[in-house]
Amino acid sequence: MKENSLRGKILSLDSNNSTVQIEVLARSNDLAKKLSGGIGSQHTMHVQPGDFALLSQKPVFRGKLQETFSSSIGKTFLLHNVWPDDPAERIRVNNVNRLLRRNTLAMGDSMIRTVGDNLPPFALYDQNGEVVTTDFFDGSATVLNFIFSRCSVAEMCPAATMKMKKLQDLARKTQIPHIKFLSITLDPSFDSPGVLKSYARGYSLNEENYKICTAAKSVIDDLTRQFGILREDSKDQPLDHTMRTIIINSRRQIVYQVPGRNWRVEDFLSRLQEGS
């Protein structure tokens, strides 16, 4: 296991103090010196609100520990970068994403998916730690984009998410049936499900039909490659990246897309009303 990594099981949760009691199932070697007791030992740890919401639904998890200090109890640990870790779900996700990997290799370096193309198979985790596959697109039109939570360039991800929220609100007010929204992170090393939960809450997104998803970096690499999204490290930002906003129909087919950041809510609303 990587440094400061832990696999565990939730025994109890305390919402008043934002703490969880866990049983250690596995841990990295460096934690043997920091955590008293061995495998099977129990510990109380602090968690962030998004991770607390996740752990209340997904009791078996993997995450990282960070030493911190509490005025009431002294030295303690913050459990963060939390992911669900049910073995059966992990196998299912890995099997689907092996198909994505093969599909990406078969496309080669010069092709990207465009209007008229069908989606490749993939499996992600949403902000609640639930597995999302391409079955999500069946029976509805879906607006898809790529963002990341640490993006601070106002006209990029923050503006895109505000426009997605406005589009979601207008679709509801105009009673367009069977509409969904999906944002996929470009920064999976930071954007765990719990971080994305806090992001969704921060923008007051209606999570009934809006999912924000993450996955292993290799999966995000394959998806950005297939959808023509470029991203690279930046001195001033965690990432520098391009954008693309896409409508996918109920048959998993791309029917409309706008590259760049200048897509218009009214344009997408009109196309959703027409059934694209």
Sorted by where each begins, the domain ranges of the chain are 5-84, 87-273
| pTM, two decimal places | 0.93
| Assigned fold of 5-84 | OB fold (Dihydrolipoamide Acetyltransferase, E2P) (2.40.50)
Tell me which residue of 61, 107, 111 sits closest to 84, measured CA to CA: 61
Whole-number pLDDT of residue 68: 86
Average pLDDT over residues 42-67: 96
Whole-number pLDDT of residue 9: 98
Q: Phi first, then psi: what are they for 248, rounded to 5°?
A: -120, 135
pLDDT at 44 over 70: yes
Whole-number pLDDT of residue 178: 94
Whole-number pLDDT of residue 270: 95
Whole-angstrom Cα distance, residue 61 to residue 48?
Answer: 15
Q: Using the 8-state DSSP alphabet, how is residue 242 labeled?
A: -
Element (H, E) at 88: helix 87-107
CA distances to 62, 203, 242 from 128, rounded to whole Å, are: 15, 16, 27
3-state class of 37 per DSSP? coil
Q: Give the lowest-confidence range in 169-178, 217-226, 229-238, 245-254.
A: 229-238
pLDDT at 276 over 60: no
User: May I ask the CATH architecture of the domain 87-273?
Assistant: 3-Layer(aba) Sandwich (3.40)
> Confidence class of residue 235 from pLDDT cuts 50, 70 and 90?
low
Q: Give the lowest-confidence range in 8-22, 24-38, 215-229, 244-258.
A: 24-38
Average pLDDT over residues 249-255: 97
